[in-house]
Amino acid sequence: MNRRRFLGATAALSSASALANTTGKPALLGGAPVKLEGSRKWPIFDQTEEKALLEVLRSGQWYRGSGNAVRNFEQKYEQLTGAKYCLATSSGTSALLTSLSAMGVTAGDEVILPPYTFVATLNVILEKHAMPIFVDSDPETFQMNARKLDAAITPRTKAIIPVHMAGAPVNLDAILATAARHGVPVLEDACQAHLGEWRDRKVGTYGLAGCFSFQASKNLNSGEGGAVLTADSDFFQRCSAFHNNSHSSHGGASSAFDLYHAPGLNLRMTEFQAALLVAQMTRLEEQYKIRESNARYLTSLLKEIPGIIPARLHDGCTRNAWHLYMLRYDKSKFANLPRARFLKALAAEGVPASSGYTPLNKASLIQTAFASRGFQRVFAEADFKNWAARNHCPDNDQLCEDAVWFTQTVLLGPRADMDRIAEAMRKIQNHAHALA
């Protein structure tokens, strides 16, 4: 049997066995769990990473500028993404902070972001004593609703941060056009979107800046780490100086000490992180292919289950980085079984899933920041009063109630695991009354 026939036969077999078990009892009611077979082990590494780390260790050149690892990584990431400049940083958060700083975002400004994102996107704005302005989510794609962006922009808006949530590109055509019309720079938060593409070009290369995270859960991982991409050389120089305590060259102790033109911080990547990233990058494309193939297959299965609605991709998306697999759960098609109970039933099946983000525009840390002396000094009473009305995001509120996520490690499992996920959901649906 040739490979294609074999794969076809095994796929048919696994679908058939999944169907045969559809009427089986959910594990939560005493039935046999479907149990995913994939190990979901993360990170994945071998002697390549060990050798790379040992080389740096033995060289004694552990910090940026003493060795070549960080610059080597930047060059490789430039090649991989097609970016003109890459600046490695200590984390995704520091990449975002570096970019906002180099854009000149400061106290009293407004910065636009989506409410469906990791808290770091918000924290860097508050750190600048700028006011976060949230643009509601599009429930179908889980991304910033580009149609609502224009109305959120004011003369105070100094940056727009669309987030390529879960690795899927936002509607860059619409967001970039709106931003350009208002003359506001775009900072792409691509922290979850390594290798993601919009119209065959890597995300993170469209805005003035594109920021990435290499934190432990990410598809490209060095424990902690980040990067800023840009095509603008002046902006790159400002980023470089900011992340290197105001030094205009990003060398180490030997660099010039007379060029403190603007405030900065130490947000440099270490040689260890960079060496690890170069090794991990050799796995990225292959892992992407597995995730992509499994995700497509999973979508084809889940689309057939009433009440399970996989996140839609924008037409311009030519590559989803698949950091997460996101879907909406419509409990009305599951005898009103609450999402928490649905997730519990999935967990009992050996299918790990989570409920994802809570509405970031409602996080109490915003009010804590607003109550601080810094914010109180810079903004007027009316700014705080009007904020809640300006930042009402009803679609996102609903999305946060309905969302279900799988991590990228689930997508690295065998194809039959996708059948098992669908099987688990069908079992739960068929017994939803009993589970409720």
Ligand X SMILES: Cc1ncc(COP(=O)(O)O)c(C=O)c1O
Q: Which residues contact 103 (CB under 8 A, 6 or more apart)?
A: 158, 159, 185, 187, 208, 209, 235
Which of 158, 202, 218, 427 is labelled catalytic? 218
Active-site residue flag, 218: yes
Is the CA virtual torsion 186, 191, 197, 202 positive or negative?
positive
Asked whether the beta carbons of 223 and 194 are under 8 A apart, the reply is: no
How many Å apart are CA 137 and CA 48, to the nearest integer?
41
DSSP state of 311: P
Asked whether the beta carbons of 142 and 395 are under 8 A apart, the reply is: no
Q: Which is nearer to ligand X, 27 or 360 (CB)?
A: 360
Q: Which is nearer to ligand X, 36 or 122 (CB)?
A: 122
Helices and strands in the chain: count of H runs, count of E runs: 15, 13
Q: Which is nearer to ligand X, 67 or 225 (CB)?
A: 225
Among 69, 179, 191, 337, binds ligand X (CB under 6 A): 191
Q: Which is nearer to ligand X, 176 or 193 (CB)?
A: 193
Residue nearest to ligand X (CB): 92
Minimum Å gap between C-beta 237 and ligand X is 23
203 binds ligand X (CB under 6 A): no
Q: Which span (59-67, 85-93, 97-105, 174-182) binds ligand X, by CB under 6 A?
A: 85-93
Q: Which residues contact 212 (CB under 8 A, 6 or more apart)?
A: 92, 95, 190, 191, 193, 194, 204, 220, 226, 227, 228, 229
Among 14, 117, 143, 409, binds ligand X (CB under 6 A): 117
b/e map 16-47, b = 16+ CB within 10 Å: eebeebeebebbbeebebbebebebeeeebee
Among 21, 99, 101, 121, binds ligand X (CB under 6 A): 121
Q: Which of residues 251-310 bind ligand X (CB under 6 A)?
A: none
222 binds ligand X (CB under 6 A): no
Asked whether the beta carbons of 234 and 228 are under 8 A apart, the reply is: no
Minimum Å gap between C-beta 357 and ligand X is 10
Would you give the binding string for ligand X spanning residues 141-170, x where CB under 6 A is met?
A: ----------------------x-------
Among 24, 65, 92, 310, binds ligand X (CB under 6 A): 92
Number of residues that bind ligand X (CB under 6 A): 14
137 binds ligand X (CB under 6 A): no
Nearest to 416 by CA among 309, 303, 301, 319: 301
320 binds ligand X (CB under 6 A): no
93 binds ligand X (CB under 6 A): yes
Among 226, 307, 310, 413, binds ligand X (CB under 6 A): 226
Q: DSSP strand E in 178-320: where?
A: 187-189, 197-198, 201-202, 209-213, 226-230, 308-310, 317-319
Q: Annotated catalytic sites, by residue? A: 218
The residues of the shown chain that bind ligand X, judged by CB under 6 A, are: 91-93, 117-118, 120-121, 163, 189, 191-192, 213, 215, 226
